[in-house]
Amino acid sequence: MAIHSKIIGSGFATGEHCVPNSKLCEMMDTSDEWIRQRTGIEQRYVAENGTTTSDLGVRAAEKAIADAGLKKDDIDYVIFATMTPDYYFPGCGGLLVRKLGMKRSIPALDIRQQCTGFLFGLQTANALIKSGTAKNVLLVGAEIHSSLFPWAPPAWEYLFGRSDVPPTDEEKVLATQFRDRIVLFGDAGGAVVLTATEEDGAGLIDAKLFSDGDSFEDLYVPTGGTSQRPYMSIDALKRAELVPVMNGKSVFRRAVTLMPQAIAAVCDANKIRLEDIALFLPHQANLRINQMLQKTLGLPDERIYNNIQRYGNTTAATLPIAYNECVKGGLIKKGDLICFVGLGAGFHWGAVLYRQ
């Protein structure tokens, strides 16, 4: 078989603090019942002050490289997916190469396809490997969403259990304006190592990916880019324009419509039937989205994986975390056909077929 790519290692790292729904109820007007019923989320991890997205990426990458049985200098290409980079520029890829302490300089590509970053990263890694440009690609997805939330430093100390002084009423009112978003997200990094293989049947089969910026305002961060001059202002900060704007219902509808379409596209193109797929790994944005996907595809519980209950939505980190848990937990076995699927801000969506 011609050279193509297969995943030989994976790993992940979460933010340092586990934050159950009950703690968020002390920070704003919400309830454990609402969060569980509407999203399925029970807890999420939040990064310590000073931990950056590239730090979580490095922690995940070190585990993935060790799991692959490689040394960091065996990696000859890095792809880093995030929508919450350490800096406006440069991106996290080069920072990760430096923090990993690689002996030589290698190319590091930053991509930003939000919740589909891992899907786009897989397709790119596969193309780099098939073309002979790279042999061992480190694909990282990491996010620190908590930096988008509107709390001042004392409130973070309370959230982390280091202060007994709860947020002020004013802070609670402000956070409540964004409660539909704050409850959804968690901080984490996930990584896989892909290598060149000629092994028959194993590895990445195909990806069908789509992008359409038509309704980007349904999920975006209004401030912090060149749509304004200057790109950041005190007034924009006061208006809390650093918090993402989200039309939850519209995103929900889009996800439950476009994810099944992407699965159909990749299956049809490769003459694969839904019954052939051992496990579906959907992006984790809302448990109800994945339950609707399951119903649409007519899948029994054991053929679709969900872990949003424990991590919330970790955007680009979500799918490598799910993959690692499924491989380590024995849910994906050698020879199994699996399907990654997702939709994210942009909007970008797609599905990837992979044989373990």
Q: 17, 21, 115, 339: which one is catalytic?
A: 115
Give the residue, chosen from 140, 251, 256, 263, that forms a contact with ligand ACO under the rule CB under 6 A: 251
Give the residue, chosen from 122, 148, 183, 202, that forms a contact with ligand ACO under the rule CB under 6 A: 183
Residue 92 falls in the annotated catalytic set: no
Listed ranges 45-53, 63-71, 210-218, 251-259: which one lies at the site for ligand ACO (CB under 6 A) = 251-259
| Site map 28..57 versus ligand ACO, x via CB under 6 A | --xx--xx--xx------------------
Shortest Cβ contact with ligand ACO: which residue? 248
Closer CB to ligand ACO, 179 or 355, in the complex: 179
Closer CB to ligand ACO, 176 or 197, in the complex: 176
Query: In three state form, how does the secondary structure of the chain look?
Result: CCCEEEEEEEEEEECCEEEEHHHHHCCCCCCHHHHHHHHCCCEEEECCCCCCHHHHHHHHHHHHHHHCCCCHHHCCEEEEECCCCCCCCCCHHHHHHHHHCCCCCCCEEEECCHHHHHHHHHHHHHHHHHCCCCCEEEEEEEECHHHHCCCCHHHHHHHCCCCCCCCCHHHHHHHHCCHHHHCCECCEEEEEEEEEECCCCCEEEEEEEEECCCCHHHEECCCCCCCCCCCCCHHHHHCCCCCCEECHHHHHHHHHHHHHHHHHHHHHHCCCCHHHCCEEEECCCCHHHHHHHHHHHCCCHHHECCCHHHHCECHHHHHHHHHHHHHHCCCCCCCCEEEEEEEECCCEEEEEEEEC
Residue 115 falls in the annotated catalytic set: yes
**Using rule CB under 6 A, residue 243 touches ligand ACO:** no
Q: 17, 21, 136, 283: which one is catalytic?
A: 283
Residues 303-342 that bind ligand ACO (CB under 6 A): 313, 315
**Using rule CB under 6 A, residue 142 touches ligand ACO:** no
Interface residues with ligand ACO (CB under 6 A) are 30-31, 34-35, 38-39, 114-115, 179-180, 183, 219, 248-249, 251-252, 255, 285-286, 313, 315, 344-345
Please give the positions annotated as active site. Answer: 115, 283, 313
